[in-house]
Amino acid sequence: MSEPRTVDAVIVGAGLSGLYQLHRLREAGLSVRVLEAADDVGGTWYWNRYPGARCDVESMSYSYSFSPELEQEWTWTEKYPTQPEILKYVRHVADRFDLRRDITFGTRVTSAAYDETTGRWLVISDSGDVVDARFLIMATGCLSASKTPEVPGLDRFQGPTYHTGHWPHDGVDFTGQRVGVIGTGSSGIQSIPILAEQAADLTVFQRTPNFSMPAGNRPLTEDEIREMKANYRAWREAQRTSAFGVPVRPATHSALEVSEEERNAVYQDGWDQGNLVAILGSYTDTLTNKEANDTAAEFVRDKIRRIVKDPELAETLSPRSFPYGTKRPCLDTGYYETFNKEHVHLVDVRKTPLVELTERGVRTSEQEYEFDAIVFATGFDAMTGALAAIDIRGRNGLSLKEKWGEGPRTYLGLAIAGFPNLFTITGPLSPSVLSNMIVSIEQHVDWVTDCITWMQEHGKTAIETTTEAEDAWVEHVAEVGAYTLYPTADSWYMGSNVPGKPRVFMAYIGGVGTYRQQCDQVAADGYRGFTLTPA
Toward ligand NA7, which CB reaches closer, 24 or 501? 501
Where b means 16+ CB within 10 Å and e means fewer, 209-229 reads bbbbbbbebeebeeeeeeebb
d(CA 147, CA 380): 5
User: How many H-runs (helices) and E-runs (strands) does the chain carry?
Assistant: 17, 20
Based on the shown chain and the rule CB under 6 A, indicate whether residue 435 belongs to the binding site for ligand NA7: no
In the three-class reduction of DSSP (H, G, I as helix; E, B as strand; rest coil), residue 355 is classed as: strand
Cα separation, 83 vs 91, in Å, equals 12
Nearest approach, Cβ of 166 to ligand NA7 (angstroms)?
Answer: 11
- For residue 207, state whether it binds ligand NA7 (rule: CB under 6 A): yes
The residue count for binding ligand NA7 (CB under 6 A) is: 24
Under the binding rule (CB under 6 A), the answer on residue 378 touching ligand NA7 is yes
Does position 424 interact with ligand NA7 (CB under 6 A)? The reply is no
Q: Which is nearer to ligand NA7, 287 or 349 (CB)?
A: 349
Task: Mark the segment that binds ligand NA7 (CB under 6 A) among 230-238, 371-379, 413-421, 515-523.
Answer: 371-379
The nearer residue to ligand NA7, 149 or 247, going by C-beta atoms, is 149
Cα separation, 162 vs 144, in Å, equals: 16
Q: Which helix (H) or strand (E) holds 291?
A: helix 290-307
Please report whether residue 143 would count as binding ligand NA7 according to CB under 6 A: yes
Taking the least distance from each CB to ligand NA7, the nearer of 319 and 418 is: 319
34 or 354: CB nearest ligand NA7: 354
Q: Where are the alpha helices (DSSP H) in 366-466?
A: 385-388, 400-403, 437-457
* Cβ closest to ligand NA7, residue 150 vs residue 262: 150
Q: What are phi and psi of 51, to 5 degrees?
A: -60, 130
Nearer CB in complex with ligand NA7: 113/154: 154
515 touches 508 (CB < 8 A): yes
* Nearest distance from C-beta of residue 215 to ligand NA7, angstroms: 13
Burial of 67 from C-beta contacts in 10 A (0-12 / 13-18 / 19+): middle
List 363's β-bridge partners, or say none. 356, 368
Question: Is 426 a binder of ligand NA7 (CB under 6 A)?
Answer: no
Q: Does 440 bind ligand NA7 (CB under 6 A)?
A: no
Q: Does 150 bind ligand NA7 (CB under 6 A)?
A: yes
Q: Closest CB to ligand NA7 among 63 and 210?
A: 210
Position 108, amino acid: R
Minimal distance, residue 357 CB to ligand NA7, in Å: 11
Query: Contacts with ligand NA7 in 158-187 (CB under 6 A)?
Result: 164, 182-187
Question: Is 171 in a helix, a strand, or coil?
Answer: coil
Binding ligand NA7 (rule: CB under 6 A), the pick from 137, 246, 377, 386 is 377
Q: Which is nearer to ligand NA7, 385 or 420 (CB)?
A: 385
Q: What is the CA radius of gyration of the chain?
A: 23
Give the range of 33-41, 143-151, 306-314, 389-397 binding ligand NA7 by CB under 6 A. Answer: 143-151
Q: Which stretch binds ligand NA7 (CB under 6 A): 67-75, 254-262, 310-318, 376-384?
A: 376-384
Burial of 98: CB neighbours in 10 Å, binned 0-12, 13-18, 19+: exposed
Of residues 21 and 497, the one with the C-beta less far from ligand NA7: 497
- The contact mask relative to ligand NA7 for 311-350 (x = CB under 6 A, - = no) is -----------------x--------------------x-
To the nearest whole angstrom, how small is the minimum distance from the Cβ of residue 165 to ligand NA7?
6
Amino acid at 405: G
Contact window for ligand NA7 (CB under 6 A) among 71-79, 193-201, 273-281, 378-386: 378-386
For residues 295 and 266, the answer to whether their CB atoms sit within 8 Å is no
E strand intervals along 29-119: 32-35, 103-104, 109-115
- Integer Cα distance of 275 and 460 in angstroms: 45
Site string for ligand NA7, 183-202 (x = CB under 6 A): xxxxxx--------------
Q: Are 527 and 519 in contact (CB under 8 A)?
A: no
* Pairing, β 368-370 against β 361-364: antiparallel
Q: Closer CB to ligand NA7, residue 199 or residue 354?
A: 354
Stretch that binds ligand NA7, among 269-277, 372-380, 410-418, 504-512 (CB under 6 A): 372-380
Q: Are 420 and 393 in contact (CB under 8 A)?
A: no
Who's near 425: CB < 8 A, 6+ residues apart? 17, 18, 21, 137, 138, 139, 441, 444, 445, 448
Q: Give the contact letters, 477-506, x = binds to ligand NA7 (CB under 6 A), - = no.
A: ---------------x----x---------
Strand-pair category, 130-138 with 5-12: parallel
Shortest distance, position 138 Cβ to ligand NA7, whole Å: 19
| Residue 164 CA to its chain's centroid (Å) | 14
Q: Using CB atoms, what's the residue nearest to ligand NA7? A: 185
User: Minimum Å distance from CB 505 to ligand NA7?
Assistant: 15
Residues in the chain: 535
Minimum separation from the CB atom of position 33 to ligand NA7 (A): 29
Residue 320 burial (CB count, 10 A):
9
Binding of ligand NA7 by 240 (CB under 6 A): no
Q: What residue ranges bind ligand NA7 (CB under 6 A)?
A: 143, 149-151, 164, 182-188, 205, 207-208, 328, 349, 354, 377-380, 492, 497
